[in-house]
Amino acid sequence: MTPSSPDTADTVWQFGSFRLSPGRRELLADGEVVPIGGRAFDILSALVERAGNVVARDELTARVWPRTIVEESSLRVQVGLLRRALGPAASFVVTVPGRGYSFVGAVSELNDTPVPDAAVAVAPEAGRPVLPLPVRLSPTLGREAAAAALRAKVLAHPLVTVLGLGGVGKSALALSVAEGLAEEFPDGLRYLDFQVEPDPEVLRALLADAAGRRMLVLLDGCDGRIEAAAGLAAALAEASPDLAVLATGRERLRVTGEQVVRLPPLDVPPDGTATAEAALGWGAVQLFVERARASRDAWTLTDRDAPWVADLCRRLDGVPLAIEMAAAAVDVLGVRGVLGQLDGPMPLLDRRRRTRQVRQQSLRASLDWSHDRLGAREQAVLRRVAVFASVFSLDDAIAVAAFDGVDEVDVTQAMAALVGVSLLSTVPGAGDTAYRLLAVTRAYAAAKLDASGERAAMVDRLARRPSQQFTPRS
């Protein structure tokens, strides 16, 4: 095992409730010593020192087993022991296939040099926070135009919020744009995930570090703790006129100076797309192909499958998370089998993936998270408008949803709220604004409608409504 390098010997790294002291070879959690083997400790030290970056397997092996040749499996075993020692923070250690490992948690650097008693009162609580951007494990596809527009917006405004439905790719786009702006912000990039409770010490250190600096701060998943995120965004804006804040969420922060960018789903091919070459010109198909290949190495898009894939992407409205779930099922069901699943209650809603946040593990979990934060009247309106198969007007929504304790004013306010949290989309038209539910949201809301016992009443009210006259703008 190797001793800590001289430049880190007096440093303590803090992440969550943990404090790592390479010089003392000590790991604490809430002040208690964490049992951890020497090699696992060395791996943790190497990863934390370069948090946010990928540390190659060969580099880790050389550090942990100097002058010794070991099998790659030995490194995997020690990483497993490290994750076990970290317990709830195990997900901070991420495997980057084909490359190595990365530490993706928010890290603060503290100084471990003894401080004279007389200086304790004026000693800073923390040094400059190390809040690296997470490592992106896959490319951002089909978002070239959106990325260019967002980049320009961030360079022109101090606070920009990317809004969109859960699973539409807000975080992926924001991370991609932030990475590309590194040279524009010489004082660096910082990242905070508001889906987890922020450490007050880290927030204080970030605000102190931000004063007068030219840096970009990415606040991700702000709707998880929107009041805290909004307060931090406002404080950061006051800390430095040259600082930029890029936020993501399902609703706006409502902070002075906030610019909003609504991220739509990916572009989908039109009906009649007949060849693989034509289909691959669309972002939704590009994502489907990339994820299908991750599930089955030899899979390629053929002219035979192209019309089905195009249809599948259209029926999923280009929502990236839905497309990823569908593509992951190709290995078992094939393209036509996956397409057939869309004719029923959409089991793709329950298909799961492993992520740190429960709300990101499935489409249903993502929609549950948003639904559970709605008021009772908003929930009622959401499930009731699921009877519309396509676009509908506010008058249509009132005619169907305003009954049994929900009046016209309630429906109007609920519609605005549902748009505000990205559960309902607006459609520009030749006349008044109209609305639509994306396919995955409609399937989710329809299940809620069935469970409520209101479907028969909604179908009857819809049948008595004159045909809709809305024409989408081409």
Is the per-residue pLDDT at 161 higher than 60?
yes
Determine the average pLDDT of the residues in 391-400: 90
Q: Supply 442's token pair.
A: 């409609």
pLDDT band at 341 (very low <50, low <70, confident <90, very high): confident
Is the per-residue pLDDT at 472 higher than 70?
no
Burial degree of 294 (CB within 10 A; 0-12, 13-18, 19+): middle
* Contacts for 115 with CB less than 8 Å, ≥ 6 apart: 123
User: Domain 130-262, what architecture?
Assistant: 3-Layer(aba) Sandwich (3.40)
Determine the average pLDDT of the residues in 429-445: 82
Q: Supply 189's token pair.
A: 């990039």
Give the per-residue pLDDT at 197: 78
Give the per-residue pLDDT at 469: 44
Is the per-residue pLDDT at 291 higher than 60?
yes
Give the per-residue pLDDT at 66: 81
Sequence ranges of the domains in the chain: 6-123, 130-262, 276-359, 374-463
Is the per-residue pLDDT at 369 higher than 90?
no
DSSP 8-class letter at 55 = E
Is the per-residue pLDDT at 332 higher than 80?
yes
Is 374-463 assigned to CATH 1.10.10.10? yes
216: β partners: 189, 244
**Main-chain phi, psi angles of 325, to 5 degrees:** -65, -40
**Main-chain phi, psi angles of 239, to 5 degrees:** -70, -30
Residue carrying the six token digits 């070239």: 144
Calpha distance 187→242 (Å, rounded): 10
> Tell me: the pLDDT tens digits for 61-94?
888 888 777 777 788 888 889 988 898 788 788 8
- Counting residues of the chain whose pLDDT is more than 70, the rounded percentage is 87
Q: In what order do the strands lie in the sheet with 434-436?
A: 392-393, 434-436, 425-427
Give the per-residue pLDDT at 174: 94
Element (H, E) at 338: helix 330-341
Determine the average pLDDT of the residues in 409-424: 91
Give the per-residue pLDDT at 440: 86
Question: Which pTM does this prediction carry?
Answer: 0.67
Is the per-residue pLDDT at 258 higher than 70?
yes
Is the per-residue pLDDT at 362 higher than 80?
no
β-bridge pairing 26-29 and 18-21: antiparallel
Calpha distance 107→130 (Å, rounded): 5
Please report how many Cα atoms fall inside a 13 Å half-sphere around the Cα of residue 449, on the Cβ side.
23
Give the per-residue pLDDT at 73: 79
Element (H, E) at 426: strand 425-427
Calpha distance 247→469 (Å, rounded): 38
Find which of 27-36, 85-94, 287-296, 303-312 is predicted with most confidence, using mean pLDDT: 303-312
Determine the average pLDDT of the residues in 266-291: 90
Report DSSP letters for 88-103, one per residue: GGGGGEEEETTTEEEE
Is the per-residue pLDDT at 359 higher than 80?
no
Give the per-residue pLDDT at 124: 34
E-strand ranges in 16-121 read: 18-21, 26-29, 32-33, 54-56, 93-96, 100-103, 107-111
Cα 165 to Cα 214, 285, 370: the distances in Å are: 31, 19, 9
Give the per-residue pLDDT at 16: 80
Please state which of the ranges 37-46, 68-77, 213-222, 344-353 shows the lowest mean pLDDT: 344-353
Cα 265 to Cα 262, 284, 426, 470: the distances in Å are: 10, 8, 13, 22
Q: Which residue has the higher pLDDT, 27 or 341?
A: 27
- End-to-end Cα distance, the chain: 66
11: β partners: 111
Is the fold of 6-123 the same as that of 130-262? no
Find which of 19-28, 98-107, 343-352 is predicted with most confidence, using mean pLDDT: 19-28
Is the per-residue pLDDT at 128 higher than 60?
no
Q: Which residue has the higher pLDDT, 239 or 53?
A: 239
User: 308-311: which pairs have CB atoms within 8 A and are 24 or more residues apart?
Assistant: 308/335, 308/336, 308/339, 309/279, 309/285, 309/335, 310/268, 310/269, 310/271, 310/273, 310/279, 310/282, 310/285, 311/271, 311/339
The CATH number assigned to the domain with range 6-123 reads 1.10.10.10
pLDDT band at 418 (very low <50, low <70, confident <90, very high): very high
Is the per-residue pLDDT at 419 higher than 70?
yes
Is the per-residue pLDDT at 219 higher than 90?
yes
Determine the average pLDDT of the residues in 107-117: 54
